[in-house]
Amino acid sequence: DIGIHARIDLREEPGRRRVQRIIEIEDPIGNVRETPLHEAALPRPSGNCKLFPAIPLRHHENSGGAVGRSALGKRRLLISSAVGLSLALSACGGGGSTSRPISGPPPTPSPTPTPTPPPTNFDTTEYRASTAAVAASAITAYEAGATGTGIKVAIIDTGLNPDLRDFTGRIDPASGDVAGTRGLGDSDGHGTAVAAIFGGAKDDVETHGVAFDSTIVAFRADSPGTCQTSSDCVLLESNLADGIDRAIAADALVVNLSLGGGAPSQPLFDAMQRAVDAGRILVIAAGNDGGTGQGSNADGFALVPAQNFPGQVIIAGSIGVDDGAGGTDLDQISEFSNRAGDGEQWFLAALGYRLQAPDQNGDQFLWSGTSFATPVISGAIALLAEAFPNLTPQEITQILFESADDLGTAGTDRIFGQGRINIGAAFQPSGNVVLAGSRESLSLTNNGRLPSAAGDAMRTMSVEAIALDRFDRAYALDLGATLGAARQRSPLGETIARPTQSRTSTLGGLEVSTSIVPRETMMGLAALEGEERLGMGPDLYRQARFIAGSAVARLDDDKAIALGFGEGAAAMQR
């Protein structure tokens, strides 16, 4: 092991006080070499990608964290400050998998002269293998026509391999290297895997990303040469800040930071502020210290921005553990994942355990870590933004939080935060639903019964309407499906079965006969009984319905006049 120490060397100079930071590197036999920190070639234990501030203060090693494609629990290099200044970044949040590829890279397909029409069946073998999309119920969005088309998401990481079929035709021209002049290529694999989980192509090969038609704005931020001898890459905060500014300029809606560690330095924090002011959403990994005392809270790198920019920062935790039967339990926080802690209001969990994705060479691996839960959430944002372009960034995050599946203690808690992301639920109307163009409330299931004149029209036709939820999201609603069938009259049955009341009265030479249906019977009340049945006073006259009657008046011994009325079978005609 190589011990890494630091001291703060304060030197007084005329007119100012200068702080110089010196690294002491001690080898196993006790030899110590001093070097200024900005020139130090730091030994990097096997572990996560690291983000270092431009001038970190003190370094120490710590175990824990899911890293790269290796087994969980490898050591990681943390950066902390003894004098209360900004902490640096620790881990990328990458994580464990098999030590050998699942399969070799698929052959590059020949270009087709015209785009292939999108498939109508999204529940394919490829989708089933895309476990992050399945766990988030992304198929609801796909079937509604949302696949991320037209939405840009910036991924600031170790770059990606632009020649992989997963990214063909969908890498934004603004992409590039913010730490050098090497181009976009990835020498580590972490950035390629993150990008593939977010937006890998749907082509019926292996897996696809959550938002497979989105546009990827990729920025390579690893310092040159730091990823080539170990899985630990060095990313300077100054380069991350540059990447965020370039993401804003490229009009990326989301900035995906699959990185973790201490609170951002002021220059990086300022860049995050500019992104928020420009209407961007930051999705930041919670960190992979779940197995340590530091894992009770999200990393400061995510927590501090979330506390300062509520509504436009999502802290991404990971769910998923081995269920003991060869599957994954989606109701448990991943062992390596930091918990929500003080960031519970802004913490959202997604599957980040054993996700299949390619590395920089196109070889398929299983990846674990909050790094890989982060692009799942970024993908969900892209799907919502495409489907509902009227939504503000704050409304998108609110919808994702409110629609999340509640896990653990009821309500928001310090383990799962808001809960497990559920894209299917996020696409459902929220709150009071009204008819577009009015404020008339609608039910999604029952809007009453048709009038009898409509007959059975709703069985043969639909009544399409546009409904708006409380976020003014527009939904096509078949009102016909929410209206009950009209109550149909049965004239013959009514004629035969209805109780009638009859009476005959005479007045001199006038004889009057009547048959009525009491109004009480028509309203479902009991008919009149006894002596009242034939005693039609003024109230009964007003309430009764006459169904037949006659009046016969004898004029003399030879002449009479008669009048009559009655209901016949014609009432049953349509």
Write out pLDDT tens, residues 348-397: 999 999 999 999 999 999 999 999 999 999 999 999 999 999 999 999 99
Same domain, 460 and 397: no
Which CATH number covers residue 281?
A: 3.40.50.200
For residue 125, list its beta bridge partners: none
Average pLDDT, stretch 49-64?
A: 30
479 contact partners, CB below 8 Å, separation of at least 6: 442, 447, 462, 463, 464, 465
Helix (H, G, I), strand (E, B) or coil at 520: helix
- The pLDDT assigned to 5 comes to 41
As a dihedral over the C-alpha atoms of residue 147, residue 149, residue 152, residue 154, rounded to 10 degrees, the angle is: 40
Within a domain: 54: yes
As a dihedral over the C-alpha atoms of residue 25, residue 28, residue 32, residue 35, rounded to 10 degrees, the angle is: -20
The more confident residue out of 500 and 441 is 441
The more confident residue out of 53 and 361 is 361
Within a domain: 528: yes
The more confident residue out of 11 and 307 is 307
How much of the chain exceeds pLDDT 70, in percent? 65
Retrieve residue 190's tokens: 């972490």
Query: What is the distance in angstroms between the CA of the first residue and the CA of the last residue of the chain?
Result: 95
Q: Phi and psi dihedrals of 554, rounded to 5?
A: -90, 125
Within a domain: 154: yes
Three-state secondary structure of 57-106:
CEEEEECCCCCCCCCCCCCEEEEECCCCCCCCECCCCCCCCCCCCCCCCC
Same domain, 419 and 450: no
- The pLDDT assigned to 168 comes to 96
- The pLDDT assigned to 117 comes to 54
Within a domain: 111: no
- The pLDDT assigned to 535 comes to 47
Question: What is d(CA 298, CA 303) in angstroms, rounded to the nearest whole number?
Answer: 6
For residue 219, list its beta bridge partners: 156, 176
Helix (H, G, I), strand (E, B) or coil at 346: helix
- The pLDDT assigned to 526 comes to 45
Within a domain: 184: yes
Retrieve residue 197's tokens: 């989980």
pLDDT band at 521 (very low <50, low <70, confident <90, very high): very low
Question: Which residue carries 């050998």 as its tokens?
Answer: 100
The per-residue pLDDT of the chain, averaged, comes to: 77
Same domain, 443 and 393: no
pLDDT above 50 for 4: no
Q: How far is residue 284 CA from its own chain's centroid?
A: 15
pLDDT band at 543 (very low <50, low <70, confident <90, very high): low
Dihedral sign, CA of 266, 314, 329, 196?
negative
Within a domain: 234: yes
Average pLDDT, stretch 120-136?
A: 95
The more confident residue out of 466 and 497 is 466
Same domain, 65 and 195: no
pLDDT in tens, 180-199: 999 999 999 999 999 999 99
Within a domain: 79: no
Q: How far is residue 112 CA from its own chain's centroid?
A: 33
pLDDT in tens, 152-176: 999 999 999 999 999 999 999 999 9
Helix (H) or strand (E) holding 120: none
Average pLDDT, stretch 518-539?
A: 48
Within a domain: 78: no
Q: Which of 115-124, 366-375, 552-561 has the highest mean pLDDT?
A: 366-375
- The pLDDT assigned to 529 comes to 45
For 114, other C-beta atoms within 10 Å of its C-beta total 5
- The pLDDT assigned to 229 comes to 62
- The pLDDT assigned to 135 comes to 98
- The pLDDT assigned to 102 comes to 54
Which residue segment(s) compose the domain that 543 sits in? 491-572
Instruction: Name which of 208, 213, 318, 312 is nearest 258 in CA terms.
Output: 318
Q: Phi and psi dihedrals of 332, rounded to 5?
A: -120, 145
- The pLDDT assigned to 299 comes to 97
Please, are residues 61 and 37 in contact by the beta-carbon 8 Å criterion?
no
Residue 437 burial by Cβ neighbours in a 10 Å radius (0-12, 13-18, 19+): exposed
pLDDT above 70 for 108: no
Question: What is d(CA 188, CA 192) in angstroms, rounded to the nearest whole number?
Answer: 8
Same domain, 394 and 448: no
For 479, other C-beta atoms within 10 Å of its C-beta total 16
- The pLDDT assigned to 498 comes to 61
Average pLDDT, stretch 466-479?
A: 87
- The pLDDT assigned to 366 comes to 97
Retrieve residue 205's tokens: 């090969």
- The pLDDT assigned to 414 comes to 97
pLDDT above 60 for 127: yes
Least confident of 3-17, 151-165, 282-296, 404-418: 3-17
Please, are residues 376 and 193 in contact by the beta-carbon 8 Å criterion?
no
Same domain, 466 and 499: no
121 contact partners, CB below 8 Å, separation of at least 6: none
Same domain, 365 and 220: yes
Last residue of one domain, picked from the residues 24, 45, 70: 70
What's the predicted TM-score (pTM) here? 0.69
Retrieve residue 490's tokens: 């049965």
Same domain, 232 and 350: yes
Same domain, 293 and 329: yes
Average pLDDT, stretch 19-40?
A: 43
- The pLDDT assigned to 174 comes to 98
Same domain, 187 and 158: yes
Same domain, 375 and 296: yes
Amino acid identity of residue 515, one-letter, is S
Same domain, 196 and 234: yes
Least confident of 244-258, 399-413, 417-431, 553-567: 553-567
Question: What is d(CA 356, CA 192) in angstroms, rounded to the nearest whole number?
Answer: 12
- The pLDDT assigned to 523 comes to 42
Retrieve residue 261's tokens: 């560690």
Q: Looking at the 3D structure of the chain, how many domains does it have?
A: 4
